[in-house]
Amino acid sequence: MSNLYAPPQAAVRDVADPAATIVLAERGTRLGASILDGLVFGVLVYMPFIAFGLVGAAASKSGDAAGGSGMLGLGLVFGLAGFAIFCWLNIRNMMRNGQSIGKKMVGIKVVRRDGAPVSLGRLIWLRNALIWAMGLIPLFGLVDSLFIFAESRQCLHDRIADTIVVVA
């Protein structure tokens, strides 16, 4: 005869522990993603400005001052357009899967510490804007970067935003 007051005895096998499936990204992979982000930014933003600036400088040297300043202005316009494209690509990827351009290229992404998707506001304001502003403090960037050598592999900006970087 069964005890009516006993707790139910059920075997649940389809529930997975989300923390068990999280694989933290390697420190070198994170560095590579950061370098790739910087390269893409440089190509889209700085390269047009530098290229048109050099052409403008050559024009100014040859006596065409109006052409030189016009080329510099054109470089500024293309640089701003590149900045807009870079921001659009990054924001689109961050909204979709928590990845910057570089993170997407190396196969890592940003998630909340419990593995849940991270909101765009948290990515932009806590991981980027706040840290950029704090980066105005001398040596803050170095201190932020050195935090990655902790066991959790979280930089200071990860700890502030309550995020981790994992293999996508």
Question: Is 1 among the domain residues?
Answer: no
pLDDT tier, 10 (very low <50, low <70, confident <90, very high otherwise): confident
Residue 140 is part of which domain span? 23-167
* Total structural domains within the chain: 1
Please give the structure tokens belonging to residue 14: 């389809």
Question: Is 10 among the domain residues?
Answer: no
pLDDT at 8: 78
Per-residue pLDDT at 18 exceeds 70: no
Question: Is 7 among the domain residues?
Answer: no
pLDDT at 81: 96
Q: Percentage of residues in the chain with pLDDT exceeding 90? A: 68
Judge whether 126 and 113 are in contact, CB under 8 Å. no
Question: Is 160 among the domain residues?
Answer: yes
Question: Is 56 among the domain residues?
Answer: yes
pLDDT at 144: 93
Question: Is 124 among the domain residues?
Answer: yes
| pLDDT single digits (tens) 57-87 | 888 788 777 777 888 889 999 999 999 999 9
Mean pLDDT, the chain, whole residue set: 90
Burial class (CB in 10 A: 0-12, 13-18, 19+), 23: exposed
Question: Is 159 among the domain residues?
Answer: yes
Question: Is 39 among the domain residues?
Answer: yes
Amino acid at 21: T
pLDDT at 136: 93
Burial class (CB in 10 A: 0-12, 13-18, 19+), 16: exposed
| pLDDT single digits (tens) 109-144 | 999 999 999 999 999 999 989 988 999 999 999 999
Residues 47 and 166: their CA atoms lie apart, in Å, by 31
This prediction's pTM: 0.80
